[in-house]
A and B are shown apart, each in its own frame.
Chain A
């Protein structure tokens, strides 16, 4: 065992030294010492719950996991961090029996084992909370919990048992939940608790959580972390997969970093820092802070007044929203997803018709309750980077250069009569690929084959290069890796410096706070408050949950 660890560490060390070159070598050596100490304590205190030795997995030519070594101490919260596509999810899928490793050894509780399918993972005490909840929306909490472990051919047999067991678990781990509630009606935070209870009901000792906080409000995330700590204190082992550094620092005991399919380091959380981890994730130092220069704010380019929007079921999703965005200003709209932000963007960009509401775009007045379309808004100088690039921003099966003109294809420079001038389009696509560092630089490849970050750059290039006055941008960095995030943030800051008005909608508080000049928070379709970028996370978090502590001072929203 000891020799295996030494080997694993030695390899990581060599890898990093190559990567970071000499200026990082000293840091790395210091970290090494800390790390070995960290591991030693874990190894001395107890048996590892999970041990992976030399696990590899490839999909065709893509090596998703390369010779992974990992030791997870029993009764600890172990974080696994890495960029999108670093191989975290693949590794966890191997542990949960979704994929078979091509080679390598898995040990659970110090016994070598194989995990051919999920059933076997469950039998060996592994439970998983997936990023997209594996719940049946139309079932009750109880039905979801017992699915696959019903305890008899008739439901009646198991249900009474399950009910009392569920209550015991819920009490023990501080997770109050109504067993007869229909899961689809519950808020996401509660749905996640159902997932955790489902795993515990099956007797899980090891709980894997895949990006668990992506859909949660800050207070829901805090609640989750409290639950995780209780689980740990009761002797359960928790594996937390995330790309959010803050969570790692907040809740884990140990952290392992993955990069491009390899495990590059394992550290004691207390002995590392966000900057250090970010550097390990990306392989170079990253600016976590965005450089935000002073920009002179000009006249309002976008004014919205009294906007009400209904969704296709007739439910009012945006309620009397008014705001304005000035030239050289970024207005951030924060909020948990599903509180009207998507409908707001759709109405402003001309995709859906509002119930009522007026908009003034670069001086032109529009009645949003009349039919408009996205093409019209574009000609008036507003471009839109939609929240969901796969559904609205790109046609996945089209090539990069075809996507680079979507929505602008009627412009004379791209077409001759009814035909496209493919050469001109390709030439421009190549220029943009260079300018925006889109990789790989192949305009003829279908966009589906680009990574998330590069897909987003393709959309961004298209919407920024047409030189709009107003940029609507939704979830600019969702599913995008750190390197690209940095790049996208800088482009947004460039727009601001050029005196454009930017409306930024994001569920990432950190992103909103670092980019915005002003922040408004939406809850249940209403604007519940406005803050400056210096607002604390707690303050914004409360607003996102619909609580405005300064409500009495906030009656006059600046319009």
Chain B
């Protein structure tokens, strides 16, 4: 029983990681007032770039760098359209999703001729599991041993990075000058402007951070969890991350728990696939896939408190004219 639980939770952590990166990415962006529907596209773009670069240069680290670069570039396109040109942020984000979905397959086919995939990566070109100190020696301690050895130890470095990013995000957003200004720009950009701050610059910085974090998410998919890029491999993770962000009410620690919950649902769905549950029968996997969205809609309908977004989220800043 314990083994099964640990197995499901272990897989929960792995499945939560890309969501968590993307959710924190969205948090930075939306806290600064830039709605980011384009998380999905950035994840996909990063996954492709990472898969391709890791294969070509035979290094997961170069893959990571390439993934982040591509994601940041897409973020800057979004920034230029929605911050500098004051375009509609939703339209710009959707455009990035389409761009990434098409371009990754096109370039993948042109460069590697494997039907849009990148070539499979050998284990040393991926981020590999890390065994934490004493994991093997402690494995025999009852209850805690297996939890430490099998659940906490044995993940790749990006999993740990994603969870380390949570307190870091909290600290940046709530304890630094940059965080204060970031939140001000998302709530009332005029207040930041009259205080002598540049709304444009702050929003660009938030968008770039968003790009970096999305990069991590995409790299994780193709170079850590998977072994190369596959067409549409982000599979809606950017959208689930957005749902998680709303569910978490734009707070980092909440975001972690929400991503764990959504990751858990995913893990459960995989575990229960094709299995009979006593008294219920076989539950279609789609039920679990839909649950994050259903839960978010329930939240938005006001059943679990109110989710109030940053006030200026989605609104391009135009200096007042009289």
Query: What residues make up the interface of A, taking CB atoms closer than 8 Å to B?
Result: 59, 64, 89-90, 93, 96, 98, 117-119, 121-122, 128, 130, 132, 134-139, 143-144, 146-150, 152-156, 158, 198
Q: In the assembled complex, how far is the CB of residue B24 from the closest CB belonging to chain A, in whole angstroms?
A: 20
Given contacts A98-B319, A147-B195, A148-B195, contact A156 B184 (CB under 8 A): no
- Among B178, B321, B322, chain A packs the most CB atoms within 10 A around the CB of B322
* Chain B stretch 9-23: residues in CB contact (< 8 A) with chain A: none
B273 within 8 A of A: no
Complex formed: what's the CA distance from A44 to B46 in Å?
70
When distances are taken between beta carbons in the complex, the residues of chain B under 8 Å from A96 are 194
Say whether B40 faces chain A, with CB atoms less than 8 Å apart.
Answer: no
Chain B residues positioned under 8 Å from A143 (CB to CB): 180
Closest to B319 in A: A98
* Contact status B191-A154, CB under 8 Å: no
Q: How far is the CB of A23 from chain B (nearest CB, A)?
A: 34
Verify A150–B180 contact, CB threshold 8 A. yes
Residues facing A in B172-229 (CB within 8 A) are: 175-181, 183-184, 187-188, 190-197
* Beyond A130-B194, A139-B184, A147-B181, 18 extra complex contacts between A and B, CB < 8 Å: A93-B322, A98-B320, A118-B195, A121-B196, A134-B188, A134-B190, A134-B195, A135-B188, A136-B191, A139-B183, A139-B187, A147-B191, A147-B192, A147-B197, A148-B181, A148-B196, A149-B195, A154-B177
- CA–CA, A261 to B197, complex, Å? 30
Question: Which 9 A-B residue pairs are closest in the complex by CB-CB distance?
Answer: A148-B195, A119-B196, A134-B191, A150-B177, A134-B194, A89-B322, A136-B187, A136-B188, A118-B196
Min distance, Cβ A481 to any Cβ of chain B, angstroms = 14
Interface residues of B in 94-110 (CB under 8 A from A): none
Which of A132, A147, A152 has the largest count of B CB atoms less than 10 A from its CB? A147
B299-322 CB contact bits vs A (8 Å, 1 = yes)? Answer: 000000000000100000001111
Q: Is the CB of B187 within 8 A of A138?
A: yes
Q: How far is the CB of A461 from chain B (nearest CB, A)?
A: 26
A139–B310 Cα distance when bound, in Å, is 12
Q: What are the residues of chain B within 8 A of A139 when measuring CB–CB?
A: 180, 183-184, 187
Residues of B in contact (CB 8 Å), total: 24
A-B contact count (CB 8 A): 77
- State in angstroms the CA–CA spacing of A132 and B178 once bound together: 25
Contact yes or no, A155 B177, CB < 8 A: yes
Please report the C-alpha to C-alpha distance between residue A128 and residue B184 in the assembled complex, in whole angstroms.
18
Residues on A with C-beta less than 8 A from B180 are 139, 143, 146-147, 150, 155
- On chain A, the residues within 8 Å of B188 by CB distance are 134-137
**Docked pose: A153 CA to B281 CA in angstroms:** 57
- Report chain A residues within 8 Å CB of B321: 59
Contact B322 A136 (CB under 8 A): no
| Interface-central residue, A128, A144, A148, A156, by most chain B CB under 10 Å | A148
Residue of B nearest to A87 (CB): B322
B residues near A138, Cβ cutoff 8 Å: 183, 187, 311
- Please tell me if the beta carbons of B191 and A153 are within 8 angstroms of each other in the complex: no
A contact residues around B192 at 8 Å (CB): 147-148
Question: Which chain A residues border B311 with CB–CB below 8 Å?
Answer: 137-138
**Nearest-CB distance from B1 to chain A (Å)?**
45
CB 8 Å contact bits of B154-180 with A (1 = contact, 0 = none): 000000000000000000000111111
What's the minimum C-beta distance from B301 to chain A, rounded to whole angstroms? Answer: 14
Residue of B nearest to A130 (CB): B194
Determine how close the nearest CB of chain A comes to the CB of B178; give it in whole angstroms. Answer: 7
Q: Known contacts A152-B177, A153-B177: does B187 contact A118 (CB below 8 Å)?
A: no
**Once the chains are docked, how many angstroms separate the CA of A147 from the CA of B182?**
10
Expressed in whole angstroms, the minimum distance between the Cβ of A90 and any Cβ of chain B is 6
Q: Is the CB of A118 within 8 A of B191?
A: no
- Output the least CB separation between A376 and chain B (Å): 30
Contact residue among B176, B197, B320 (Cβ-Cβ distance under 8 Å from A155): B176
- In the complex, A86 Cα to B103 Cα: how many Å? 55
Determine whether the beta carbon of A147 is less than 8 Å from that of B176: no
Which residues on the A side are within 8 Å of B197 (C-beta)? 147-148
Residues of A within 8 A of B191 (CB): 134-136, 144, 147
When distances are taken between beta carbons in the complex, the residues of chain A under 8 Å from B179 are 155
Q: A25 → chain B, closest Cβ, in Å?
A: 34
Contact B176 A154 (CB under 8 A): yes
How far apart sit A128 and B320, CA to CA, in the bound complex (Å)? Answer: 15
Q: Give A98 to B184 CA distance when docked, in angstroms.
A: 19
Known: A137-B311, A154-B176. A118 touches B184 (CB 8 A): no
Residue of B nearest to A128 (CB): B194
